[in-house]
Amino acid sequence: MRPKIAAGNWKMNGTAAALSELDALSRALPENPPQVVICPPSPLLFRATDAVHGCPIQIGAQDCHAEASGAHTGDISATMIADTGATHVILGHSERRDAYRETDADVRAKAQAAWGAGLTAIICIGESDAQREAGETLQVIGAQLDGSLPDGATAENTVIAYEPIWAIGTGKVPSIAQITEVHDFIRERLAARFGAEISDALPLLYGGSVKAANAAEIFAVENVDGALVGGASLKADDFAPILTALAQS
């Protein structure tokens, strides 16, 4: 049985005052909640881990450097993230791939650094609107998965998040058939590389305009084990219904 996971990516939003949402979220968790990971901006990591002490919410970061230390002004290492008490780190998000020109090789190196620090890597993959329209979705997803995921991936150190770029923050959501096709493809690709035992255990998340109104339908897809949620994770009132839908799926 794969774990159900809901990860919230706050992106570049929130100050210390926003951490009150963590307390509100902890009080709104459904019975038998899924695994919940909130990824705030890095300046909030220490305070966030303190804020969730004693409740089942975990904290993650939004990126890390591939090196453990060095002359990398403005960056944060996986070791530093682990030192805050965080347990996860998002890697390869499309916004990082686009704005910072991160390659699959960059993501792979960061994932290895995350594993070395004892963090779980949430590795993001996804196609653009142009790639979808050109019929290249599975080709793109396969190449990103092969290039971004290091050897040694297990259910303990890795989560895969499929986020079609054209659906992130746009309100557009792929059809259930499209989500099913990609998630089934990812599962099969993982099985071919790592074997059925590891593939069957690795959690696959869907991300891209997930909201309370569409969450239950998305979570009913066989190979969707949860969600990577952006804007709807900023407020407990918006995120809690998604968690409830996942818990009931």
Catalytically annotated residue among 93, 95, 127, 183: 93
Query: Would residue 53 show up in a list of annotated catalytic residues for this protein?
Result: no
Instruction: Collect all residues with Cβ–Cβ distance below 8 Å to 241 and sequence separation of at least 6.
Output: 212, 215
Does residue 90 contact residue 125 with C-beta atoms inside 8 Å?
no
Query: What's the sign of the alpha-carbon dihedral 241, 28, 49, 56?
Result: negative
Closest Cα partner for 164 from 201, 131, 142? Answer: 131
State the Cα–Cα distance between residues 108 and 26, nearest whole angstrom. 33
Tokens of 8: 């919230």
Query: Would residue 183 show up in a list of annotated catalytic residues for this protein?
Result: no
Residue type, 23: D
Helices and strands: H and E segment counts in the chain: 11, 8
Catalytic residues: 93, 163
